[in-house]
Structure 1
Amino acid sequence: MSDDETQIRTLITRWADAVHRGDLDTVLDRHAEDLVMYNVAEPYEGIRGLAAYRATWPPFFSWQAQGARFDLDTLDVTAGHDVAYAHALLRCGTPEELAECPGLRLRITFGLRKRHGRWLIAHEHHSFPHD
């Protein structure tokens, strides 16, 4: 595994752990100001910018505080010199949802770019498979 892939893996693992803990400052860390995210929840046309990204998290943290999980299951990273992508599967749901559908995974794809020697998340796409 290259050093860039290791750095990205550490960045995303840290991000997922912060989401699980409800730590907004760490969730936002290392995200580009011009971030674009397509989320499971509305708005379905996506959000643009770090301020809009920030606003998506408090409702999720409230839902998660009721006992829902957000656990990284798999993570694959491909890194070039200054751009990279990663895709992950996460167990995301309430205990009841996960018991009813144990194989259900949240799918997240990340687009990253390197600026001044640091990897930044510039794009996230979150989705669940449709039945």
Structure 2
Amino acid sequence: MADDDATQIRTLIERWAVAVHEGDLDTVLADHADDIVMFDVPPPEDGVRGIDAYRKSWPPFFEWQRQGAAFEILSLDVTAGGDVAFAHALLRCGTPKELEEDPANRLRLTVGLRKDNGRWTVTHEHHSFPDKT
């Protein structure tokens, strides 16, 4: 069962990443719990809490994406239990200029999930870049 769950979660995260890159808000929100908590690169420092706040956080990112930015999963590892799971990934994320200046820079993604009524839902996202200062 865990292998099937891991495959379902991998598919969910890959679909989410494509939706983020395409600016497809409905698909970005799909599979996220009403009580989602996200710790993101930009403020607020104490995180984004709840699906409404999560929804409101995406339009500025989509605007930034329209500059030709990349948002692409390079590696993704999933660990699934019976009703909770987590995944971590490295993504290529940046404008062409940013990626030219620092091609090795990676966005780090950690996702926490729970199974509700047989369906995996994202309850936590954490996005970060390494501190290069």
**TM-score (ref. length: structure 1):** 0.98
Q: 1:19, 1:35 → 2: CA distance?
A: 17
Aligned to 1:63, the other structure's residue is in SS state helix
Partner of residue 85, structure 2: 84
How many residue pairs match? The answer is 131
Partner of residue 118, structure 1: 119
Shift of 1:7: 0.2
Identity of aligned residues (%): 66
Partner of residue 103, structure 2: 102
List alignment gaps of at least 5 residues for structure 1.
Answer: none
Q: 1:109, 1:63 → 2: CA distance?
A: 22
Partner of residue 30, structure 2: 29
Structure 1 runs, 4 residues or longer, greater than 4 Å off: none
Q: 1:44, 1:91 → 2: CA distance?
A: 23
Partner of residue 50, structure 2: 49
Partner of residue 40, structure 2: 39
Q: Deviations over 1:36-95 (max 9, x none)?
A: 000001101101000000000000000100111111111000000000000011110000
**TM-score (ref. length: structure 2):** 0.97
Partner of residue 128, structure 2: 127
